[in-house]
Amino acid sequence: MAKSMREIKRQIKSTQNMKQITKAMEMVAASKLRRAQESAQSSRPYADKMKEVISSIAVGSKGIKHPMLETRPIKKTGYLVITSDNGLAGGYNANVLRKVMNTIKSKHKSKDEYSVFVIGRKGRDFFRKMGIQPLEAVTDLSDSPKFAQIKTIAASAVKNFETGVYDELYLVYNEFINAISQVPVEKRLLPLEEVASTGAVTSYEYEPSAEGVLEELLPRYAETLIYSAVLESKASEFGARMTAMGSATKNATKMISSLTLVYNRARQAAITQEISEIVAGANAQG
């Protein structure tokens, strides 16, 4: 019985230590979440204004053509998948990877029909394990990613569409709804059909020409959308981690209560047994 009690006490201590860790991680994730939300929100006005300018040029200038605005027959598809570098975030990574794999299995018959770009170590390792070698991968992003950290992979993903390596490009990431809700989404980034079809038109003067401005702005706009998705994914990651660590802390609390009850019962049984043995010994001597 004494050995059993020691084991229970050791398990209680171990669970208490784990609870301290998960509680600290929950608080850290909550702090990072606030900053990530602010970063994601601050990037939207820039992307919206750029979309407005591009839409005005595309709609207001007749006869302008650009590969990023044109729909072509789909022979190959590109996917840019955004995951995290670390785990302990509930279903954050599993949900987005499951979504992209379901799409790949349903749409493509061979690996020649798609290409994959990955942001995040979890995604990179997953695709390698599945026998899918990403064209490019970026890992070790900071908690507040800068555009320079993803510029190379974003530019490469956009350039490959322009040059015809694939005929459409999808972004697959976790869309941030709130601190406890993140939804894996799959959005078609290229071609930029919705930009050319919008009705909003503002008069601008171009130098040297509308075509020249579009040539510069369209790739930057697509790269900006990728960066916005990265920022939103970071907010989703911290929200998912905060929720996961909160649940782990609650479970640890319940486990400690349950183990403490078992320990107290075992201790009471041991004391009762000792008293019974003392009484029995006294009666035997009397």
CATH number, domain of 223, equals 3.40.1380.10
* Packing angle of the helix pair 92-107, 121-129 (nearest 10 deg): 40
Evaluate whether residue 76 is within a structural domain.
Answer: yes
Question: Does 191 sit behind a cis peptide bond, omega within 30 degrees of 0 on the bond before it?
Answer: yes
Evaluate whether residue 285 is within a structural domain.
Answer: no
The DSSP 8-state label assigned to residue 62 in this structure reads: T
Name the residue type at position 231: L
Evaluate whether residue 248 is within a structural domain.
Answer: no
Residue 132 has pLDDT above 50, yes or no: yes
C-alpha 8, offset from chain centre? 38
Determine the pLDDT at residue 60.
57
3-state secondary structure of 144: coil
* Packing angle of the helix pair 2-60, 210-285 (nearest 10 deg): 170
How far apart are the C-alpha atoms of 273 and 271, rounded to whole Å?
5
Evaluate whether residue 262 is within a structural domain.
Answer: no
How far apart are the C-alpha atoms of 189 and 97, rounded to whole Å?
18
Lookup: tokens for 248: 């782990």
* pTM of structure: 0.85
What residue numbers bound the domain in which 157 lies?
26-243
* Beta bridge pairs of residue 175: 183
Residue 1 pLDDT class (50, 70, 90 cuts): very low
- Count of domains observed in the chain: 1
Go through 199-228 and write b for each residue having 16 or more CB atoms within 10 A of its CB, e for each that does not: eeeeeeeeeeebeebbeebbbebbbbbbbb
How confident is the model over 181-240, as pLDDT tens digits?
Answer: 899 999 999 998 766 555 555 666 666 776 777 788 888 889 999 999 999 999 999 999
